[in-house]
Amino acid sequence: MLPFTLPRLLALSPAPTIGPGPRDAAAGASADRSATTVVRPEARGETDPVPHKGDAADTPAIWVHPTDAGKSLVLGTDKKGALIVYDLDGRERQRASDGSRPNDVDVLYDFVLGGQRCDLALAGCRGPDAMGVKVWRVDPDQGLLTDVTAGGIIPVFGGETPYGSCVYRSPRSGDSFFFVTTMKGQVEQYRLEDAGGGKVSAARVRGFSVGSICEGCVADPELGTYYLSEERVGIWKFGAEPDAGDQRALVAKVGEHGLTADVEGLTLYCATGGKGYLIASSQGSSTFNVYTREGDNRYVLTIDPRPGGIDDVDHTDGVAVTNRPLSSRFPQGLFVAQDGRNRPLNQNFKLYGWEDIAGQRLLADTDWSPRIGGGPAPAVAMESPPAGGDPSPWAVEAQPLEVETARVAPPGAVRLEVGFELQGGTRQVENRVPIALDYAAFRRVTFRLEPILYSRVAEGSRRLADGFGDLELGATVLAWPASGRNPGVALGAEVKLPTATSRLIGSGRADYTGDLILSKRVATLDLHLNLGYTLVGSPPGLHTRNVTWYAVAVERRFARYDLVAELRGHTAALTDGSDPDAAGATRPLAAELAGERRVATLGVRYHLMARTMISLGLSYDDDHALQVHPGLGVRLR
């Protein structure tokens, strides 16, 4: 097996398909649906499933890092548990306030707390000990949330249960507010205040109601408007200032342009000059209606995601969008939608590149900023790995390690790696030039082609053999991804074909291997465990036995560097325990299968760019053989 590790590879989705949506009849859309324009993007990524089963995931929000876009976060509510923090690769980083049962989450930028500007996340919560609204402070250095709610909870509606919530910063006064709703159609507005001691409190400033259940809401921080989805009716537009009263206008009606009850999450794509889009989740049709942000909110088009390498979204609750460039995967912004099915796993959130939605029909403006004073977009390392991302996204081994990981790349991704191995035994020295080509064929399936292009065996200055080595073909299937406290689990299979040109290089017989792969992130460490069994082919005149083997590894990311360590071992393949490095040995078997061997490896990787990585490993085994193995990995697609 050949080593390697890169940050999660990027799968660029094809341009959006324009045309009629396939769900019209099933969704019971109105007759005027045929007049709608439909775009059909494919997801570029998805988050880990939420921890709880059933209807648990609800609403996402996007936090944009002020200086390093690669450190931006996706927040998602598990309304049976915690506020989940994900990185841009969709991997869970934190469960904030577990047991608070948050429903809708939103992000407020540049709130002044203790005399300093900070970013907040806010959600209506329905936990037994947390009935009201919670506020968290976002730590831009650690990418984690800290509860800063004064008293632990902000009661709303006189202690009744909140439903939807969103934030608003007034362009008139500079004050910060949140809106909160109930299942009875009630709405309250609160002003956020610095309570001292690093805590946030709130004071009620306004209340009104609509006729029936309402949840999704969003407020425009420039135009001063507040949008509210009354689930069976449509989308209402109010003034967002605390003195705006209860005057309203119905800007989108259920039954028009395919808007199908329940009308759920709302989000705003903001662009410069007051332009942009209001996007609404049409839950009954599993689509998203897009309206202009300005003017009378004219209908523009419908987003109807299609399945690709990642499955479609169905029965969506909440949505979120940002115009800001976040990474080389999302260079023109990000749209996030809750997936109400995601079978057979728990619900999760799907990630879409804005350009796949916008095409030539919508704006793609990365200049507008949600922060006070605007300013340029945060730095996007278009050719560097996402900060804090998982150093091992593939379910194959990663230089300079041989352990496999239960993490897969996006479908269609291709990676090439080239290594050089120099190993010295008691008398013999072997040089090898292995390469590996990895292809993520499907969402959970990766294939690997791994030939040894050149191998040379020498004793002292005397060359014993050289030529082409054996060829290995492998496949890895992700059984289920890591989620919460549970590790990711994958299954691997590999066959070694006897293509070596010399018996001093290969055994001349095929070997067959199967292995169980476990991966788990613990704090900042990625831990991996492999347990395997190999059916060993027997060369003429030798007695072999099958091999049981193991490998354990740990990886730690430091900016562009990964530090890695590994221990692997296996039982003897020769029944007489022959050592191929012993004097006079004829090396009838590959060294890694001869003798009971344990190998320890220490290594480092350096990510030159998002597509290029170099590595160096140093291995030492219990036969006192030392191996040095530099390597190069390149993402081709």
pLDDT at res. 394? 52
Residue 346 forms part of a structural domain: yes
pLDDT at res. 424? 73
pLDDT above 90 (res 296): yes
pLDDT above 90 (res 299): yes
Residues 96, 179, single domain; the answer is yes
Last residue of a domain, one of 358, 374, 404: 358
Residue where the block lists tokens 């991704």 = 413
Give the structural domain span for 575: 414-635
Q: What is the mean pLDDT of residues 321-349?
A: 93
Q: Which helix (H) or strand (E) holds 564?
A: strand 561-570
pLDDT above 90 (res 483): no
| Residue 385: strand pairing partners | none
Residue 12 forms part of a structural domain: no
Residues 165, 309, single domain; the answer is yes
User: According to the per-residue pLDDT averaged within each range, which of 25-34, 122-131, 455-464 is highest?
Assistant: 122-131
| Residue pair 226/219 in contact by the 8 Å Cβ criterion | yes
* Beta-carbon-side half-sphere exposure of residue 209 (alpha carbons within 13 Å): 9
Residues 175, 28, single domain; the answer is yes
Last residue of a domain, one of 312, 341, 358: 358
CATH number of domain containing 623: 2.40.160.40
Q: Which residue type sits at 130?
A: A
- Condensed to tens digits (0 to 9), the pLDDT of residues 262-292 reads 999 999 999 999 999 999 999 999 999 999 9
Residue 529 forms part of a structural domain: yes
Share of the chain above pLDDT 70, in %: 85
Phi-psi region of 382 (alpha: psi -120 to 50; beta: other; left: phi over 0): alpha
| Residue pair 388/92 in contact by the 8 Å Cβ criterion | no
Residue 141 forms part of a structural domain: yes
pLDDT above 50 (res 344): yes
Residues 184, 313, single domain; the answer is yes
C-alpha 591/C-alpha 432 separation (Å) is: 12
pLDDT at res. 273? 93
pLDDT above 50 (res 14): no
Q: What is the DSSP letter of 26?
A: H
Residues 110, 192, single domain; the answer is yes
How is 182-205 classified by DSSP, letter by letter? -TTSEEEEEEEEEEETTEEEEEEE
| Residue 336: strand pairing partners | 320, 351
Mean pLDDT across the chain: 86
How is 9-25 classified by DSSP, letter by letter? PP-PPPPPEES--TTHH
* Closest-CA residue to 133 (of 32, 201, 71): 201
| Residue pair 73/85 in contact by the 8 Å Cβ criterion | yes
Residue 297 forms part of a structural domain: yes
Total domains in the fold of the chain:
2
Residues 341, 478, single domain; the answer is no
pLDDT at res. 4? 32
Higher pLDDT, 552 or 420: 552
pLDDT above 70 (res 475): yes
Residue 194 forms part of a structural domain: yes
Q: How many CB atoms lie within 10 A of CB 459?
A: 12
Residues 130, 272, single domain; the answer is yes
Residue 284 forms part of a structural domain: yes
pLDDT at res. 318? 97
C-alpha 515/C-alpha 509 separation (Å) is: 20
CATH number of domain containing 313: 2.120.10.30
Last residue of a domain, one of 324, 358, 392: 358
- Condensed to tens digits (0 to 9), the pLDDT of residues 217-270 reads 999 999 999 999 999 999 999 999 999 999 999 999 999 999 999 999 999 999
For the chain, helix, strand, coil in percent to 5 are: 5, 50, 45
| Residue pair 62/107 in contact by the 8 Å Cβ criterion | yes
Contacts of 121 (CB under 8 A, 6+ apart): 61, 63, 75, 83, 96, 105, 106, 107, 108, 135, 136, 138, 145
Residue 252 forms part of a structural domain: yes
C-alpha 483/C-alpha 490 separation (Å) is: 13
Q: How many CB atoms lie within 10 A of CB 170?
A: 16
Q: Which helix (H) or strand (E) holds 225?
A: strand 225-230
Contacts of 10 (CB under 8 A, 6+ apart): 44, 328, 329, 410, 413, 610, 635
- Condensed to tens digits (0 to 9), the pLDDT of residues 564-623 reads 999 999 988 877 544 444 434 444 444 444 445 789 999 999 877 656 889 999 998 887
User: According to the per-residue pLDDT averaged within each range, which of 10-14, 377-381, 397-401, 546-550 is highest?
Assistant: 546-550
462, two tokens: 């005397």
pLDDT at res. 575? 74
Residues 466, 344, single domain; the answer is no
**Is residue 525 very low, low, confident or very high in pLDDT (cuts 50, 70, 90)?**
confident
| Residue pair 258/289 in contact by the 8 Å Cβ criterion | yes
C-alpha 553/C-alpha 517 separation (Å) is: 11
Beta strands in 55-185 (DSSP E): 57-63, 73-78, 83-86, 92-96, 102-113, 116-127, 130-139, 144-147, 165-169, 176-181
- Condensed to tens digits (0 to 9), the pLDDT of residues 134-190 reads 999 999 999 999 999 999 999 999 999 999 999 999 999 999 999 999 999 999 999
Share of the chain above pLDDT 90, in %: 62
C-alpha 483/C-alpha 301 separation (Å) is: 35
Residues 71, 210, single domain; the answer is yes
pLDDT above 80 (res 387): no
pLDDT at res. 348? 96
Residues 487, 566, single domain; the answer is yes
Residues 348, 480, single domain; the answer is no
Residues 422, 508, single domain; the answer is yes
Q: What is the mean pLDDT of residues 527-548?
A: 88
Buried b (16+ CB within 10 A) or exposed e, 91-107: bbbbbbbeebbbbbbbb
| Exposed/middle/buried for residue 150 (C-beta within 10 Å: 0-12, 13-18, 19+) | middle
